[in-house]
Amino acid sequence: MFAIEINKEKYEYDIQALVKSFYPEEEVAVLLPQSRPDKRQKLEDKVRIRLNVSEEGAKLTVCGHAYHWTGQETEKFRGSFKRFLYESLKQETGKDLPWGNLIGIRPTKIAYSLLEKGKSRQEIIDYYRREHYTSLEKAQLAADIARRERDLLAGIHYRGGYSLYLGIPFCPTTCLYCSFTSYPIGGYRSTVKAYVDSVIKEMQYVARRYWDKILDCVYIGGGTPTTLEPEELDRLLSNLEEYFDLGTVQEFTVEAGRADSITEEKLEVLLRHGITRISINPQTMKQKTLDLIGRKASVEQVEEAYALARRMGFDNINMDLILGLPEESEQDVQHTIDRVVELSPDSLTVHSLAVKRASGLNRWIREKGVSMLRNTDETMKIAQEGADRLGMVPYYLYRQKNISGNFENVGYAREGRLGLYNILIMEEKQTIVALGAGSITKLVLPNGRIERCENVKDVSLYIKKIDEMIERKSRMLDAQNCDSR
């Protein structure tokens, strides 16, 4: 662990995130002039980087090495400052990051915006390279994905439409790397009925409020929605059909992510209710890793669940993989990709492991060391080549804080199987109304501003305060109507 001392409260998030990108194995803290005395006392002897920012520029000191930059504080100051910081850290560490000085989770939004302004592919690539120091490969990837996103979203109703997310926060077990709102179903069986009741109540309110809007996509995620028993799954979907006009829905996804939650009865329920896309997620095809991360579905169960879904008629199946899992090598990733190619899913989401503070993996790293996690250009290339073998193209991309190898998460799919909802959640072009514990509604206003409304994460509290959750949504939508007038 080390600290960064900054002389003024300015761009501290950018600074910490970029420094962390260069020193991924370290925990990085920030000291500001207003930091509490106890924090200052704790971190003073751990300061390795000092940054003094003034109206005339900045001075960066890294382990005694000084770097200077002169620049006036205008509206373009932040971009120039980030380039200075990146160049200094690059010189200090000898590292060149694939995404350059970009630290946000949606790097393709830049390309999408430039595309809407009429910029060519080459102009977009040049912009990424010049302004953000991204590698040529990443700049090309962002430009190509933005074009596919724009083409696919051409049929989406931005102003008169919306999409719907339903969160089912239960899983068979909690995986080592997970920090999502998710609870082991074994301890919540007696709560499931009340939880579904609450989601249905929230559903009724949204249906009344959005009766005049076009519903484009429905996504049921979690957690693992298929931890619900067939009758509860059927009840949830039946109410959804009763309260919403699903005739306009272009994509209806249910995450059946954990193979140990999938049964023929549950898949029959999904088919009966017209689900068009499901996700069966192995994460890795190495059994030892699955055991280590606490993912109880075996490799054999994944293959059996996938085969069952195909036999029953599902023709749009996604698989999620994670690169950089504990103790996995390039050979392990190649083994996983080879087995996935044999199965031949319709889309593939390749995640670079992100170490979340609230996850069990964070504690595991403190014991074992970050060197036990390995994600490299080679592993990313292996996954990309696997997608190529499956005839897939990259169609959406996002990044996470503390992501392994400073890489990205990429969604690949065959033409005709590109996931609409995945693009909508990344590009934030359309309102997504979210139901369930821990979900976040994102209201996209006509001026492009985004308003957020969060539901509480705790299941019992969500059930208890469902009326309050509905009232929160109501206040947000009332404020939107006032803004529109």
* Domain presence at residue 35: yes
Digit-coded pLDDT (tens) for 54-73: 877 889 999 889 999 887 65
What pLDDT, on the 0 to 100 scale, is given for residue 466?
98
Question: Are 129 and 207 part of one and the same domain?
Answer: no
Element containing residue 289 per DSSP (H, E): helix 287-292
Instruction: Please report the pLDDT score of residue 358 as a whole number.
Output: 58
> For 200-209, what is the mean pLDDT?
97
According to the model, what pLDDT value does residue 183 have? 84
**364 and 217 belong to one structural domain:** yes
C-alpha 141/C-alpha 394 separation (Å) is 8
Together in a domain, 64 and 201: no
Q: Which among 318, 151, 340 has a CA at the least distance from the CA of 219?
A: 318
Confidence (pLDDT) at 403: 72
Greater model confidence, 401 or 428: 428
Shared domain check, 300 and 396: yes
Mean pLDDT of 40-55: 90
- Of residues 174 and 316, more confidence is placed in 316
Q: So what's the pLDDT on residue 13? A: 87
pLDDT in tens, 370-412: 555 667 788 999 999 999 999 999 999 998 876 766 788 999 9
CATH number where 236 lies: 3.80.30.20
Number of domains in the chain: 3
CA separation (Å) from 240 to 111, 223, 234? 36, 19, 10
Distance CA 122, CA 125 (A): 5
Question: Taking residues 146-170, what's their average pLDDT?
Answer: 94
Q: What CATH number did the domain enclosing 61 receive? A: 3.40.50
Residues 332 and 420 placed together within one structural domain of the fold? yes
Residues 218 and 359 in one domain: yes
3-class SS of residue 285:
coil
Look over the chain and give the mean of its residue pLDDT values, rounded to a whole number: 90
Q: Indicate if the pLDDT at residue 483 is higher than 60.
A: no
Query: Is the pLDDT at 424 greater than 90, yes or no?
Result: yes
Return the closest-CA partner of residue 81 out of 106, 101, 61, 111: 101
pLDDT value of residue 367: 66
- Looking at the chain, the whole-number percentage of residues with pLDDT higher than 90 is 70
The answer to whether position 125 is within a domain reads yes
Band (pLDDT 50/70/90 cuts) for residue 24 is confident
For residue 138, the enclosing domain spans 96-146
Q: Please state which of the ranges 41-50, 93-102, 115-124, 374-383 shows the lowest mean pLDDT.
A: 374-383
Q: How far apart are CA 437 and CA 210, in angstroms?
A: 20
The alpha helices in 153-229, defined as continuous H runs, are 192-209
Q: Examine residue 475 and state whether it is found in any structural domain, yes or no.
A: no
| Tens digits of residue pLDDT in 287-346 | 999 988 888 889 999 999 999 999 999 999 999 999 988 888 999 999 999 999 999 999
What is the pLDDT, as a whole number, of residue 485? 45
pLDDT band at 368; cut points 50, 70, 90: low
Say whether both 79 and 170 belong to one domain. no
Which amino acid is residue 42, in one-letter code? K
Q: DSSP for 134-163? A: --HHHHHHHHHHHHHHHHHGGGS-TTTEEE
Does 478 reside within a domain? no
Kindly report the pTM of this predicted structure.
0.90
For residues 221 and 166, what is the distance between their CA atoms, to the nearest angstrom?
6
Contact 351, 320 (CB under 8 A): yes
Residues 169 and 38 in one domain: no
Q: Please indicate, yes or no, if residue 463 is contained in any of the structural domains.
A: no
Reduced to 3 states (helix: H, G, I; strand: E, B; else coil), residue 127 is: helix
* Same domain as 107, residue 79: no
Percent of the chain with pLDDT over 70: 92
Classify residue 67: in a domain, yes or no. Answer: yes
Q: Are residues 36 and 111 in the same domain?
A: no
Residue 474, in any domain of the structure:
no
The verdict on 80 and 101 lying in the same domain is no
471 found inside a domain = no
Residues 268, 204: one domain? yes
Q: Which of 146-160, 165-179, 406-420 has the lowest mean pLDDT?
A: 165-179
- In angstroms, the CA 191 to CA 475 distance is 28
Residue found by looking up tokens 């509860």 in the block: 232
